[in-house]
Amino acid sequence: MKKKIGIIGGGASGMVCAIVAAQGGCDVTLIEKNKKLGRKILATGNGRCNITNVDIGEHYYHGHHLSLVKETLKHFSKHHVENFFAKLGLDLVCIEDGRMFPMSLQSSSVVAFLEDALLQNGVKIKVDSNVKSLKYFSDKFIVLTDKEELFFDKVVISSGSLAMPSLGSSSDGYSFAKSFGHKIYPAFPSLVQLVSDEKLLKRVSGVKIDAILSAYVEKNLINEIRGDLLFTDYGLSGLAILDISRGVVYGLSQGKSCVIKIDLLPDISISSLKKLLQKKSQQFSSKKPALWLNGILHQKLVYFILEKTNLSHVLKLQTKHLHALAYMIKNLSITIVDSRGAKGAEVMAGGISCDEIDRKTFMSKLQKDLYFTGEVLDVDGDRGGYNLHFAWASGYLAGKHLLMK
Residues 229 and 196 in one domain: yes
Q: Would 13 be classed as within a structural domain?
A: yes
Instruction: Give pLDDT, residue 405.
Output: 66
| Contact (CB, 8 A) for 235 and 242 | no
Asked whether residue 270 is domain-assigned, the answer is no
Domain with residue 226: its CATH number is 2.40.30.10
Let me know whether 124 and 176 are in one domain.
yes
Phi, psi of 36 (to 5 degrees): -135, 150
What percent of the chain stands above pLDDT 70? 100
Q: How far is CA 122 from the centre of its chain?
A: 32
Same domain, 312 and 376: no
Q: How many domains does the chain have?
A: 3
Q: Yes or no: say if 328 and 172 are a contact pair by the CB < 8 Å rule.
A: no
CA distance 404 to 76: 19
Q: Are residues 363 and 307 part of one domain? A: no
Give per-residue pLDDT as tens, 343-378: 999 999 999 999 999 999 999 999 999 999 999 999
pLDDT at 1 over 80: no
Q: Average of pLDDT values for 200-214?
A: 96
CATH code of the domain covering residue 149: 3.50.50.60
Q: Is the pLDDT of residue 309 over 80?
A: yes
Nearest to 7 by CA among 402, 404, 346, 405: 402
Same domain, 165 and 215: no
Same domain? For 87 and 166 the reply is yes
Round to the nearest angstrom and report the end-to-end CA distance of the chain: 12
CA proximity to 333, closest of 257, 232, 261: 261
Judging by DSSP bridges, how do beta strands 208-217 and 380-381 pair with one another?
Answer: unpaired
Same domain, 53 and 172: yes
- 123 close to 19: Cβ distance less than 8 angstroms: yes
Residues 260 and 287 in one domain: no
Q: Is 147 helix (H, G, I), strand (E, B) or coil?
A: coil
pLDDT digits (tens, 9 = 90+) for 7-51: 999 999 999 999 999 999 999 999 999 999 999 999 888 889 999
Pair 15, 163 in one domain: yes
From residue 90, how far is each of 111, 117, 125, 404 by CA, in Å?
A: 10, 11, 21, 28
Q: pLDDT tens digits for 147-193?
A: 999 999 999 999 988 888 877 778 899 999 999 999 999 999 999 99
pLDDT value at 2 more than 90: no
Based on the fold, state whether residues 135 and 68 are members of the same structural domain.
yes
Q: Is residue 36 part of a domain?
A: yes
Higher pLDDT, 239 or 287: 239
User: Which residue segment(s) compose the domain that 181 sits in?
Assistant: 4-189+349-402
The pLDDT assigned to 227 comes to 97
Cβ–Cβ < 8 Å for 193, 342: no
How far is C-alpha 32 from the geometric centre of its chain's CA atoms?
A: 21
Q: Is residue 173 part of a domain?
A: yes
